[in-house]
Amino acid sequence: MQIDIKGDVVDSETGQMYKWFGMQNTNPQAIQEQLEQAGGKDIQLNISSPGGDVTAAAEIYTMLQQYSGKVTGTIQGIAASAASVISEACDHLVISPTATMMIHRASMWGEGNTNDFGHNAETLSKIDQTICNAYQAKTGKSRDEILDLMDKETWMTAQDAVDQGFADEILTINDKAPQMANSIGSMPVKDKVDEFMKFLVDQKAENKDKSTISSSNNEEYFDSALFKSKLKILKGENDERNSSN
């Protein structure tokens, strides 16, 4: 089962408001419902979030840590702030070569006197310690080292994240992998699409001085040898292997 960690990380009540407006979000109630549906089976988290509410992230982190099935995560775009905390709950965390992670200290907005801000500073310091717990459990780094990285608002490439222990491996993108389909219709196979695209590049180079075919002579175009040759590529009719079978 796949579960998305996308959009802002918010508390469950705010999540309802986001949902009403059709805004993507990640909240504890929604995650809890999906985990219950998964019923202990292995799950895949698709992660791309700028973060958000620290308490909501802590709640989701705990849910994932207590989940009985294996939790595999893939950082597809970004796992920043609170979302990076959630990602550390994965038993195995993969990061796309084009993705990033970011960790930093917690922050809050408020007003008041010196006592109020002094209390806020103390509270934030304790929250930083709880965030540090998640990073330390995943990376094995010392608390001082992690807090230093949080101090600097550390941005990590995929390689940085793996080298630092925040992720387990970089996603391998294999364009040679067999193409899988689940459709009642027909679709061109991947190697034919690749051949077709190469054909278009070659044709563009060959005919770079010719004008683009206008909509007024579409019939002539569809009857042309060029269109027919493209169609043969998609159908595989010009494939020597197919013609010999």
For 114-144, write each residue's pLDDT tens digit: 787 777 778 788 889 999 999 999 999 999 9
In a domain, 92, yes or no: yes
User: How many domains is the chain partitioned into structurally?
Assistant: 2
The answer on 52 and 115 residing in a single domain is yes
Identity of residue 179: Q
In a domain, 136, yes or no: yes
The answer on 133 and 232 residing in a single domain is no
* Residue 66 predicted with pLDDT over 80: yes
Residue 115 pLDDT:
80
Last residue of a domain, one of 170, 202, 234: 170
In a domain, 160, yes or no: yes
Per-residue pLDDT band at 13 (split at 50, 70, 90): very high
Distance of alpha carbon 49 from alpha carbon 81, whole angstroms: 9
- Of residues 231 and 168, more confidently modeled: 168
In a domain, 180, yes or no: no
- Is 92 among the residues known to form the active site? no
The answer on 126 and 205 residing in a single domain is no
Q: For residue 23, what are the domain limits?
A: 2-170
**Arithmetic mean of pLDDT, 164-187:** 70
pLDDT in tens, 35-48: 999 999 999 999 99
The answer on 108 and 145 residing in a single domain is yes
Entry pTM: 0.69
The answer on 224 and 119 residing in a single domain is no
83, with CB counted inside 10 A (0-12, 13-18, 19+), is buried
Catalytic residue among 84, 87, 96, 104: 104
Catalytic residue among 48, 49, 81, 96: 81
The answer on 88 and 28 residing in a single domain is yes
- Is 48 among the residues known to form the active site? no
